[in-house]
Amino acid sequence: MKRGQQKRIPAPGQQQTHHVFAAYDWHDDTVVWTTSVKKHSDAFIAFLEALLVTHYPTGRCVLVLDNASYHTSAASLAALSLFEHRVLVFWLPKYCSLEPGTLWVAIERFWRHLKDVVCVDSLFPSLAQLVEAVDAQLHRQNHLLNSERFAFLKH
């Protein structure tokens, strides 16, 4: 393309989305996740239930959350309050700049890694196939000897 011009490429159909909710387990260096067609309070609450009822039914958790509307909705806050005896929530300040080396920066780097491993130089014929590829990579992330896994650095 010439400088200052942007080539438009027509794409058929409507934009489709799929979302991943995930948490990093610092203790065993794994990721717990759920997926959802929509990113809203119900999907976040389903993730909380998967995390706190299925994966860690008695354990204590620390959650670092931003101020996304689905995190701060009345329904989400009510769901979090059900687990307040074993969940500590750190709310990031609105529009904060994150310090390098902090855990939440590592999570953002993990999302970038996931996109790079799954999506770079790949064209998926359907959203379902992309979701399958993301799910497969998330499963591989939890295998400690996998060469494509993201290494969270512990201090």
pTM for this structure?
A: 0.80
Superfamily of domain 19-141: Ribonuclease H-like superfamily/Ribonuclease H (3.30.420.10)
Q: Where are the domains of the chain?
A: 19-141
Phi, psi of 56 (to 5 degrees): -130, 70
pLDDT tens across 97-151, in order?
A: 666 556 556 778 888 999 999 998 888 988 999 999 999 999 999 998 888 888 8
Q: Find out whether 31 and 146 touch, Cβ atoms under 8 Å.
A: no
pLDDT tens across 52-93, in order?
A: 999 999 989 999 898 899 999 999 999 999 999 999 998 888
Structure tokens at 141: 């992330």
